[in-house]
């Protein structure tokens, strides 16, 4: 399904990004996986190779322009093109508004929003020349709904939706589509630390009655990365068990 395509996934060392990388590779894409933890990335490369796929690790911090440029450059150097960029790297630094530190705001915005901007800018330079490409931004249901204690995170994720729509309008003429996926509550390291009571409370707000899996998100990304979604751009695809409609 994705044979011959080259896909870059940020935040691929664990969780949702790792699942996305494995699914894209299983469908034939050559995947370039990125995050800061080089050891975990190398383990993922070995896993993907063991599953018959092709993969390259490029470690770096998405919040740094030089690292974002190097990520795209190394993908082109290794595989000759960039067809799919998944901006998935993300962090939380939760606290109530009145207690939120400047650095908690800056770190979250720099990673979640500026990181996606930097990688999109670098990838768009390649994709517009190719006259084809797919950019998929991993936002969040709380970017649509808001969430107490997550002003920084929700602002970054709502910002990603604006970035998605602007870039979709700007790049459409060059046959580059840009879409966002908004996961609901997904079982990963990011949600592992939530107290059981809070998890139970959250689950009652989900019509499908359970948290989602990393694979649920990866399936949506695969669709948006594939030729089957060629006429879809600037859209926000909620994968949230009905939590937000």
Query: Which is nearest to 158 in space by CA: 175, 135, 174, 141?
Result: 141
Query: Contact, 123 vs 82, CB < 8 A?
Result: yes
Query: Contact, 220 vs 181, CB < 8 A?
Result: yes
User: What is residue 150's three-state secondary structure?
Assistant: strand
Contacts with 84 (C-beta within 8 Å, 6 or more apart), sequence order: 2, 5, 6, 7, 8, 24, 29, 133, 134, 135, 136, 225
**Comparison of 131 and 210: residue with beta carbon closer to ligand NAP:** 210
Q: Which of 27, 76, 91, 155 binds ligand NAP (CB under 6 A)?
A: 91
**Gap between the Cα atoms of 23 and 17, Å rounded:** 10
| Region binding ligand NAP by CB under 6 A among candidate stretches 48-56, 188-196, 197-205, 224-232 | 188-196
Q: Which of 104, 153, 240, 243 is catalytic?
A: 153
Extract the runs of DSSP E, i.e. beta strands, from the chain: 6-10, 30-34, 54-57, 84-87, 133-138, 176-183, 236-239
Question: Is 153 considered catalytic here?
Answer: yes
**Comparison of 53 and 238: residue with beta carbon closer to ligand NAP:** 238
191 binds ligand NAP (CB under 6 A): yes
14 binds ligand NAP (CB under 6 A): yes
| Region binding ligand NAP by CB under 6 A among candidate stretches 1-9, 12-20, 168-176, 195-203 | 12-20
Extract the tokens encoding 80.
């000759």
**Interface map 122-141 toward ligand NAP (x if CB under 6 A):** ----------------x-x-
Q: Which of 32, 62, 126, 151 binds ligand NAP (CB under 6 A)?
A: 62
Residue 95 belongs to what H/E stretch?
none
**Gap between the Cα atoms of 176 and 230, Å rounded:** 9
11 binds ligand NAP (CB under 6 A): yes
Tell me the number of residues near ligand NAP by CB under 6 A: 28
Q: Which of 189, 193, 196, 227 binds ligand NAP (CB under 6 A)?
A: 189
Residues noted as catalytic: 153
Q: Report the interface residues with ligand NAP, using CB under 6 A.
A: 10-17, 35-37, 61-63, 88-91, 111, 138, 140, 183, 185-186, 188-191
């Amino acid at each position: 399904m994705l044979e011959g395509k080259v896909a870059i996934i940020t935040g691929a060392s664990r969780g949702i990004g790792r699942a996305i990388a494995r699914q894209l590779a299983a469908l034939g894409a050559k995947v370039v996986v990125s995050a800061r933890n080089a050891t975990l990335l190398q383990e993922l490369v070995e896993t993907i190779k063991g599953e018959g796929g092709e993969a390259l690790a490029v470690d770096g911090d998405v919040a740094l322009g030089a690292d974002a440029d190097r990520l795209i450059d190394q993908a082109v150097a290794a595989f000759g093109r960039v067809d799919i960029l998944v901006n998935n790297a993300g962090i939380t630094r939760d606290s109530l508004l009145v207690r939120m530190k400047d650095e908690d705001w800056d770190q979250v915005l720099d990673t979640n929003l500026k990181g996606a901007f930097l990688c999109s800018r670098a990838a768009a330079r390649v994709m517009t020349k190719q006259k084809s490409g797919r950019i998929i931004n991993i936002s969040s249901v709380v970017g649509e709904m808001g969430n107490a204690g997550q002003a920084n995170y929700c602002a970054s994720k709502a910002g990603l939706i604006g970035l998605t729509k602007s870039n979709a309008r700007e790049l459409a003429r060059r046959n580059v589509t840009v879409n966002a996926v908004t996961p609901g509550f997904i079982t990963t390291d990011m949600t592992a630390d939530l107290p059981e009571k809070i998890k139970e409370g959250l689950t009652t707000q989900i019509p499908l009655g359970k948290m989602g899996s990393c694979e649920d998100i990866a399936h949506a990304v695969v669709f948006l990365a594939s030729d089957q979604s060629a006429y879809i751009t600037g859209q926000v695809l909620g994968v949230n068990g009905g939590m937000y409609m």
